[in-house]
Amino acid sequence: MNEEQLAFNRRRFFECLTALGLGSTLMPDALTIAAQDSAIVTVQMIETAQKIAGVSFTREEQDSIVTRLNAPRGYMAGFEFLRTAGLGNSTQPAIVFNPVPPGKSLPVGPRFLRRRVPVVSRPSTDEALAFLPVTHLARLVETRQVTPSELTELYLSRLTRYDPMLHCVVSLTPELARAQAKQADAEIAAGKYRGPLHGIPFGLKDLFAVRGTKTTWGASPYKDQVIDTDATVYTKLREAGAILVAKLSTGALALSAQWFGGLTRNPWNTRQDASGSSAGPGSATAAGLVGFSIGSDTGGSIIQPSARNGLTGMRPTFGRVSRYGAMTLAWTQDTVGPMCRSAEDCALVFNAICGPDGKDNSVLDVPFGWDASADVAKLRVGYLRSAFEGAAGRNHEDALSVIRSLGVQVVPFDLPDVAIEAIDFIRYAEMAAAFDDLTRSGRLREVERGPEQSARPAEIRPARFIPAVEYIQANRYRMRVMEQMDEAMSGLDLFIGANLLLTNRTGHPVISLPSGFFEGSPTGLQLTGKLFGEPELLLLAHAFQSRTDHHLKHPAL
């Protein structure tokens, strides 16, 4: 008799005893035999588990539960199958999060970009050229004052030179970049200009897959991983003519600035880390090592490094940009967005990457139309009082004065009072599912004990004990919170300030833009928009940057 048959017979024996009401009278030896099979659930286990679930059952009810759980086609059998199904990190769930409350219509209209094309001449130094915003680089490429190959060599050189200080590069892609630059050179010389990203070198957070390159997720177990697919965001940028020069560091499993290759540093103050799991894109873009970069955000990982490193970074509305080919952290909260030098740069990059791809079933078909010259005074803007407290409070007060000088009427605004703890664990439950294979293999410990010293395993392990019912209940409460947010913002286009813990769960867009300095490091002003309110966010951010020069400053490396 094989082991599988023995296990089955043990289960059947235990079920029969329980059905006869004899489960509690099992001899200790019999209990030991039953417990040897990991698929067997005992009454004692139920008594412990019901404390986590917050319920209380009688002994008769517990016996019935044990019978059902251990039945040949019961819950445990289903669980055992799932654990060997090879779902990995990329298989999407059948349940899809939609941030739009019931009865609320999606925006409609054409997709367009209206902006003023700048008049720009090539700077006298490569250093100045490296720090130009995409809008200016694009004009230099379009007018053939600089070639894509020249820009590519400039950024490859700077990546090589400054990475030992910043630890922001996982993989340089020189061969790929030079081939893409050569193609862009030829196309532009032949008059086939694709648009403002054509020939612009960029960096990609190293949780997006690109064929032929390592995609390490910042974690030791995956440091040699190569995924045979191209992430949609990479494909769309390539279609726009952009050039990939580097895969940039992500904190291990998208947590913090620490990865297996070191701690990514803030180029303004290398004693500081670059903050958030999009630390590599934040550091590299701020240091003028790429023209722009792409990050991802589940709990602030675009916004926090943008603020710390003095960038303009935007976390879009959930469902705006495909996550296909990206490492999954939380299916109902992960977002992808641009990290750039200016709001107008963000508009150009976002325009290229947003929209459905037929691969990520959470993406909604909502057009993006942005007019840089629209009347900013027509925006309905609120402000959170809490945004003006703390170390950056004075800079934010000055920013508010600039915004009011634009003719914008700003009114006090309060967010709904929400029990964040009742929905925050949703992401951890999803995270535990996304990395179930890593946990079961025992290799999760490598992320904790390896050079990255990540706290992510300490988040994943407790999430194994989140009851399924509570996960559903949390999502039901999440709908109530979404409706409260929608009602609170019904008279506004956006508000000054942010609550990332809240808006990451409701799917609202946020942009961070430089607002000054505090003790030598940049400070960031956050603006939070209504759902699909990227045009309004970018309009106010662009207008603010037309009156200030914080975004034009760069670190002296």
pLDDT digits (tens, 9 = 90+) for 140-166: 999 999 999 999 999 999 999 999 999
pLDDT digits (tens, 9 = 90+) for 447-461: 999 999 999 999 999
Q: Using a pLDDT cut of 90, give the percent of the chain over it.
A: 76
- Is 367 part of a structural domain of the chain? no
Q: What is the CATH number of the domain that holds 278?
A: 3.90.1300.10
Question: 53-56: long-range contacts at Cβ-Cβ below 8 A with a sequence spacing of 24 or more?
Answer: 53/467, 53/469, 53/470
Predicted confidence (pLDDT) per residue in 227-240, tens digit: 999 999 999 999 99
Q: What is the mean pLDDT of the chain?
A: 91
E strands in 274-389: 292-297, 312-315, 335-340, 369-371, 381-383
The reply to whether 77 and 119 lie within a common domain is no
With respect to residue 344, please indicate whether it lies within any of the assigned structural domains.
Answer: yes
**pLDDT confidence of residue 80:** 85
Which tops the pLDDT comparison, 409 or 16? 409
- Domain boundary among the residues 63, 83, 103 is at 83
Listed in order, strand segments (DSSP E) in 249-380 are: 258-259, 262-263, 265-266, 269-273, 292-297, 312-315, 335-340, 369-371
Q: Look at residues 243, 314, 304, 233 and name the one whose alpha carbon lies nearest to residue 275.
A: 304
Residue 100 within a domain: no
Would you place residue 1 in the very low, low, confident or very high pLDDT band (cuts 50, 70, 90)? very low
Q: 175 and 51 share a domain?
A: no
Residue in 169, 109, 197, 115 with CA at minimum distance from that of residue 373: 115
Domain co-membership, 76 together with 126: no
In a domain, 25, yes or no: yes
User: Binning pLDDT at 50, 70 and 90, where does residue 389 land?
Assistant: low
Structural domain includes residue 474: no
Q: Does some domain include residue 52?
A: yes
Judged by DSSP in three states, 369 sits in: strand
Last residue of a domain, one of 62, 83, 104: 83
Provide the domain count of the chain. Answer: 2
Q: How confident is the model at residue 392 (pLDDT cuts 50, 70, 90)?
A: low
Whether residues 21 and 142 share a domain: the answer is no
How much is the pLDDT for 312?
98
Q: Let me know if residue 424 belongs to a domain.
A: no
Question: Which segment of 67-71, 347-351, 496-500 scores lowest on mean pLDDT?
Answer: 67-71
Indicate whether 254 and 191 sit together in one domain.
yes
Same domain? For 541 and 412 the reply is yes
Q: Which helix (H) or strand (E) holds 432?
A: helix 421-434
Within this chain, do residues 10 and 150 fall inside the same structural domain, yes or no? no
Q: Report the pLDDT averaged over residues 348-353.
A: 98
Asked if residue 172 and residue 71 are part of one domain, the reply reads no
Q: Which residues are catalytic?
A: 205, 277, 301
Residue pair 363/106 in contact (Cβ under 8 Å)? The answer is no
Do 214 and 145 belong to one domain?
Answer: yes
For the segment 493-524, what is each residue's pLDDT rounded down to a tens digit? Answer: 999 999 999 999 999 999 999 999 988 889 99
Together in a domain, 264 and 394: yes
In the predicted structure, residue 33 carries a pLDDT above the cut 50: no
Does 39 fall in a domain? yes
Domain extent at residue 28: 3-83
Both 74 and 156 in one domain: the answer is: no
Q: Are 470 and 501 in contact (CB under 8 A)?
A: no
